[in-house]
Chain A
Amino acid sequence: MWEYAPAPESRDIANLRPSYRMFLDGEFVEGGGEPLKTVNPATEEVLAEVSTANSSDVDKAVKAARRAHERVWGRMPGAERAKYIFRIARMIAERARELAVLESLDNGKPIRESRDVDVPTASAHFFYHAGWADKLGYAGLGPDPRPLGVAGQVIPWNFPLLMAAWKIAPALACGNTVVLKPAETTPLTALVLAEIVQQADLPPGVVNILPGAGDVGAELVGHAGVDKVAFTGSTDVGKIIQRTVAGTGKKLTLELGGKAANVVFDDAPLDQAVEGIVNGIFFNQGHVCCAGSRLLVQESVADELLAKLHARVSTLRVGDPLDKNTDVGAINSREQLDKITSLVESGEAEGAQRWTSPCPLPEKGFFFAPTVFAGVSQAMRIAREEIFGPVLSVLTFRTPDEAVAKANNTPYGLSAGIWTDKGSRILWMADRLRAGVVWANTFNRFDPTAPFGGYQESGFGREGGRAGLEAYLDV
């Protein structure tokens, strides 16, 4: 064990301003809603005041997006659209450090993750989709793919900038215009992205960013002028949105919750598997819809693996998100921390054996020490419900068939992991796991060229790759 000296990234780099305004029809304007105060979850201090939209702002934004679609964006040659989107990709990269620090401040995630994953992947997402804008006829989705019109998009707080990129990039590439609502607790990077959109000189109205709470999102997805609704968030809210959209003819894609099984066989390289398990559940404090939150271990190696896992998790450094040595940052909000705490209590009450890392926690802020439950049965809430926090439930199995049955025993189906040295078993498992993304001997890999999305109640539609274009095209 090493002692680490603090290695904090400078918060000045975030260019934090005392107030942020919403972005509507090419201008930053005051919203009609009650301004919100966004909080640094690592310190509980207010970072900035952010104006929010009311229903008339939503209406204005949808109309601006409609105008922009009809007059400019929808009829612009794809090659020209592409160049605008390439510009956005480049400008995100240019301002990468600023965006990373701002993201860590607003969200609580470690700077290492915002710097190495969120921001570069966001830039890559725009770069990838830019190239599609004038090549949509080659996507294999029909001879004459047409844009849908105005996309209303609602995104979560776990990857604020990255989710904005996942939503906006394909929409623009396919010729749609966008009204996007960032999450209530993490609006800042989306508004810097709006600044980039402005600096990239996109025509007014093509991208509109309206901060606010769930009511603004509901207003947006219910607006009659929206042709396409895209939502990433909880399955509960996804169902409400699917109900709202029913009968309207709006095209819908949903990327919802998960309870991924991470399956470790007895022949897996255990040290490597431990790294993957840790990455699977503690990456981004476990605030990941595809987190490997159910560890299924073959019984014969369960004790050995668990011991290694405890040893490794004990070394995870929990604390200041801006410290470059931090592994696990802050829980995004008090509300989320309460939810995690209550599910962990249910795990104890239902008889699972709790182990929590003895790591020190900061005195202020929302933090939760990495926790591993052993002796979990399938009926327990911690095996069934999405915790969305740094909490792992460990179950065991004896045969591959049992592993498949337990892995698939969930209404979700977003992701899954397989750890084994046997290639044929990987492919056999990959065939049988009912999940949209299967990571074998790795976990939590994302790339704009690789389609991402769920089976069953984890939602429908894909983001990324050729498959992801379908969500934004009339084909």
Chain B
Amino acid sequence: MSERLTVAKTYKLYVGGKFPRSESGRSYPVRDAKGGFLANAAQASRKDVREAVVAARKAFGGWSGATAYNRGQVLYRVAELLEGRREQFVAETSAGEGANGKRAQAGVDAAIDRWVWYAGWTDKIATVLGAANPVAGPYFSFSVPEPTGVVGVLAPQASSLLGLVSVLAPAIATGNTVVVVASQDRPLPAITLSEVLATSDVPGGVVNILTGRTAELAPWLASHADVNALDLTGAPESMSAELERSAAGTVKRVLRARPTEPDWTAPPDISRLRAFLETKTVWHPKGT
């Protein structure tokens, strides 16, 4: 008896809760750590970037306006579904990153736990960063953190799942919506993650994932007038400064890349939550 032929998956983009191919019709081969063919991924274009930004903007009001409790539950639900597909992610990251079974498993476990960690932050970050301001006058003044808006994220190039989750989860936990450019050479876990997001309760458009050439897509995100912030973590080093200059055109908040990709297995802190938050201060007089 011959072995059954597996059904291979078509990897597409994830925009506005749907899975379109690139409007450009382009794709590129994704290879495993040893150079073997894994799949074709969609090669997104400038127009795909723009459509993803439109989707992210459209989703922003609902997501940022959802209660923090609700966002926490939604993020936790992602962890639940990820747990259920643990083996698939272990296989995918192992193939793409060339990690052995044990390391791949640890990476996926850490990614699941990271969703849980950030899920718990959604309804606490305002307590930690907000304040009742003791102003010198008869006024009630308070400050609250609010999401920056649409964040363009250049996902880490090496760590295709744990790294991705580590930059994605904090950005959306606080109510931002994102356009993510996945790891160029290791995009498959990102697309599989988008299937998890689509079937969890994350509203369409909150997370948009593009695969393709980072160097081609990043400048469009950096210069887009409706993108409020830019995470350069996965930016090619040679492009970082130029992307930052371009971001200045609309005074984007820029989270700079470190010279080397961080160790994503290290316990996170709240700096990534802080990076895409604004502080709003509200005043009202006191009196009778």
Residues of A near any B CB (own CB < 8 A)? 124, 140, 142, 235, 238-240, 242-243, 246-247, 249, 254, 256, 411, 426, 430-431, 435-442, 445, 447, 449-453, 455-460, 462, 465-467, 470, 475
Contacts and interface: CB of A to CB of B under 8 A. Distances in A.
Given A445-B137, A467-B143, A440 B282 contact: yes
A452 B63 CA distance: 25
A256 B251 contact: yes
A285 B275 CA distance: 35
Contact of B133 (A140, A238, A442, A449): A449
B10 interface: no
B283 interface: yes
A124 B225 CA distance: 38
Contact of B271 (A447, A453, A475): A475
Contacts of A455: 148, 278, 280
A437 B245 contact: no
Contacts of A436: 278-281
A455 B250 CA distance: 11
A458 B143 CA distance: 18
B251 A459 contact: yes
A442 B148 CA distance: 25
Contacts of A450: 133, 135, 141, 143, 281, 283
Smallest CB-CB A-B distances: 9 pairs: A247-B241, A242-B248, A246-B244, A447-B135, A450-B133, A246-B245, A243-B248, A457-B251, A440-B284
B133 A451 contact: yes
Contacts of B66: none
Nearest to A249: B256
B251 A239 contact: yes
Interface string B262-278: 00000001010010001
A447 B133 CA distance: 9
Given A246-B241, A465-B131, A435 B280 contact: yes
B281 A438 contact: yes
Contacts of A238: 251
Contacts of B106: none
Contacts of A442: 139, 283-285
Contacts of B25: none
Contact of B129 (A140, A240, A437): A140
Contacts of B254: 246
Contact of B143 (A435, A440, A459, A465): A465
B279 to A, nearest CB: 5
A438 B135 CA distance: 15
B29 interface: no
Contacts of B134: 449
B136 interface: yes
Contacts of B283: 437-440, 442, 445, 450
Contacts of B269: 142
Contacts of B135: 445, 447, 449-450
A380 B204 CA distance: 36
A455 B65 CA distance: 17
Contact of A466 (B131, B148, B247): B131
A457 B281 contact: no
Nearest to B64: A431
A249 B255 CA distance: 11
B240 interface: yes
A247 B136 contact: no
B57 interface: no
A452 B281 contact: yes
A41 B141 CA distance: 35
Nearest to A417: B283
B253 interface: yes
A459 B131 CA distance: 21
Contact of B285 (A247, A441, A447, A459): A441
Contacts of A440: 282-284
B284 A447 contact: no
The interface centre, meaning the residue of A142, A235, A430, A453 with most chain B CB atoms within 10 A of its CB, is A430
Given A247-B244, A447-B136, A449-B133, A460 B279 contact: no
A445 B131 CA distance: 17
B249 interface: yes
Nearest to B248: A242
Nearest to B143: A451
Contacts of B136: 124, 447, 449
A458 B250 CA distance: 10
Given A437-B283, A447-B135, A449-B136, 18 more contacts: A239-B249, A240-B248, A242-B251, A243-B245, A246-B247, A249-B256, A438-B281, A441-B284, A441-B285, A442-B139, A447-B141, A449-B141, A451-B133, A455-B280, A456-B251, A458-B251, A459-B251, A465-B279
B215 interface: no
A456 B247 CA distance: 12
28 contacts: A142-B269, A239-B249, A242-B244, A242-B251, A247-B241, A247-B242, A249-B256, A426-B284, A430-B282, A436-B281, A438-B282, A438-B283, A439-B282, A440-B282, A447-B136, A450-B133, A450-B135, A450-B141, A450-B281, A455-B148, A455-B278, A455-B280, A457-B251, A460-B251, A462-B279, A465-B143, A465-B281, A467-B143
A405 to B, nearest CB: 11
Contacts of B274: 470
Interface in B221-263: 225, 228, 240-242, 244-245, 247-251, 253-254, 256
Nearest to B225: A411
A273 to B, nearest CB: 13
A456 B241 contact: no
Interface string B115-126: 000000000000
Nearest to B277: A467
A451 B279 contact: yes
A246 B247 CA distance: 9
A25 B274 CA distance: 36
A438 B280 contact: yes
A38 B131 CA distance: 41
Nearest to A252: B254
Interface in B132-166: 133-137, 139, 141, 143, 148-149
The interface centre, meaning the residue of B139, B250, B281, B284 with most chain A CB atoms within 10 A of its CB, is B281
B268 to A, nearest CB: 12
Nearest to A435: B280
A447 B136 CA distance: 7
A462 B280 CA distance: 10
A330 B229 CA distance: 39
Nearest to A450: B133
